[in-house]
Amino acid sequence: MKKGWTTTKLIAAGSLGALRLITALPGAAIAGVTGIPFLSGAINFLSAGILYSITCLIIPKFGAATLMASIFSILAIPLPLMGPPGFLPKVILGAVYGLLADIVFLFLKKKKRLASVAIGSISSAFAPIVSLGLGYYLGLPGAIDLIKMFFKLEIFISGAIVGAIAGYLGWLIYSKIENTTIIKRVQS
Amino acid sequence: MIKQLYIQKASIIHELDFWTKFLCFLLLLPLSAFIAPAKLLPLLVLVFIILLLASKIGLEKFWQNTRLYHIPITIGVILLSLAFSPGILQERFIYGLILAIRFILLISFGVIFSMVTNPIEIPGGFLRARLPHKYGITLMVGYRMIPLISDKISTIIDAQKARGAEIKLSLKNLPKLAPLVASLMIPILHSTLETSVRLSDTLISRGYNPEGKITVPPGRLKKEDLVFLFISIIILILALIKPL
């Protein structure tokens, strides 16, 4: 296995970013119709959890999920995904979510199933906190109170459980295609 | 589908360089709207209206695309301010209103960027910014992959339906959601990766090396770009000056 970023790995990360965008578009359409900020993220938690864990499993290199999520968030600039169209902080948010997945995978690299579940659950549990942290940074009144509210254990745990299901689903999908030539080719 | 906000027009704003639009609409002007003293906000609103008129998009078209953001955000921010900000009721309301205007300007500049920028300009712009080209190329491939993956997804859904799969999202089908997602995601993922490997083979066969040098598409700032950037920087400086 080559150590650096090969063309195949880069293109695969870009393609997974594009796939993440396409799977998020139905949520974006609902967010566009209702106009509720960050609603698309809440709707797309399943595809997000699956794709973050799958990216780390398919391209087991630190930075793979960050690259995939950054590509996704840049592609999402003109769309009502992760905030309104043209909302530049969405790129930072995307990169942070990806980095979170990469860090989790770095520590649990050898236990793929656990890593997958942890990536899904941590990214889902922290997503509202990161979004509200951005709200606090932008001076949104009551952001701190809302963060305190979200830090309630029950909400945190339910987010983590839902994310863990998505992460586990990601692992199941990966285990089905793990031994195909395409995966071996991307990983080589 | 990704072009849903872009409106093609022959206007001075549409013809600006990608980086001028990126810096002004997504960075300098929204930042000014956020840090400017309240007295400067009418000037920023005026700048925005002038930009909108110059882009030939039209107020009605813009309102149609943004009202679903502006109305809930205005109500939401004012309500949050009334609930959480310090001071008497009137002060809290005014603070909420000013913050709502700031958010509206932030969103409006972003939406106008999306309306005047063809999405395909974005990867080209990133390549010209002297960022490592491997990321620019990856982004470009991401754009290229969107229609290809969309087509493949439609084909896969049709194929699964032909095999008798019931692809409907409803509360009744909720327990079947996980197997349904897996039955769709496995072929979609495989097909996406297959296309990406084919695309990377094409790039490799043409001599592309992620660590090597490539020819960057040409692009120079025109006089209009410089004027536009200069005005935006002046507005940002005005916003930074605190009133005595």
How far is residue B93's CA from residue B80's CA, in Å, rounded to a whole number?
Answer: 10
Residues in chain A with CB shorter than 8 Å from the CB of B210 are 4-7, 10
pTM comes to: 0.78
Question: Average model confidence (pLDDT) for chain A?
Answer: 79
pLDDT digits (tens, 9 = 90+) for A138-185: 666 556 666 666 566 666 777 788 888 888 988 998 998 889 999 999
Cβ proximity of B13 and B231 under 8 Å: no
Residue A99, C-beta contacts closer than 8 angstroms, at least 6 positions apart? A65, A66, A69
How far is residue A46's CA from residue B86's CA, in Å, rounded to a whole number?
Answer: 39
Residue A1 lies in a domain: no
HSE-CB of B63 using CA atoms within 13 angstroms: 4
Least confident segment among A125-134, B67-76, B113-122: A125-134
CB atoms within 10 A of CB B1: 12
- Residues recorded for chain A: 188
Q: How many separate domains does chain A show?
A: 1
* Torsion, Cα of A8, A11, A13, A16 (10° steps): -120
ipTM of the complex as predicted: 0.83
* Position A11 confidence tier, pLDDT thresholds 50, 70, 90: very high
Residue A156 lies in a domain: yes
Closest CA to B127 of B226, B54, B19: B19
Residues of the domain holding A32: 7-187
CB contact B182 to A (< 8 Å)? yes
Q: How far apart are the first and last CA of chain A?
A: 5
CATH for A84: 1.10.1760
CB atoms within 10 A of CB B127: 20
Average pLDDT over residues B30-44: 88
Q: How far is A101 from chain B (nearest CA, A)?
A: 19
How far is residue A15's CA from residue A106's CA, in Å, rounded to a whole number?
Answer: 22
Cβ proximity of A53 and A101 under 8 Å: yes
Residue A73 lies in a domain: yes
Residue A2 lies in a domain: no
Residues in chain B with CB shorter than 8 Å from the CB of A14 are 138-139, 141-142, 145, 196
Contact between A15 and B69 using a beta-carbon 8 Å cutoff: no
DSSP letters, A75-144, are HTTTTTSSSSTT-THHHHHHHHHHHHHHHHHHHSTT-HHHHHHHHHHHHHHHHHHHHHHHHHHTT-TTHH
CB contact B186 to A (< 8 Å)? yes
Q: How far is A126 from chain B (nearest CA, A)?
A: 22
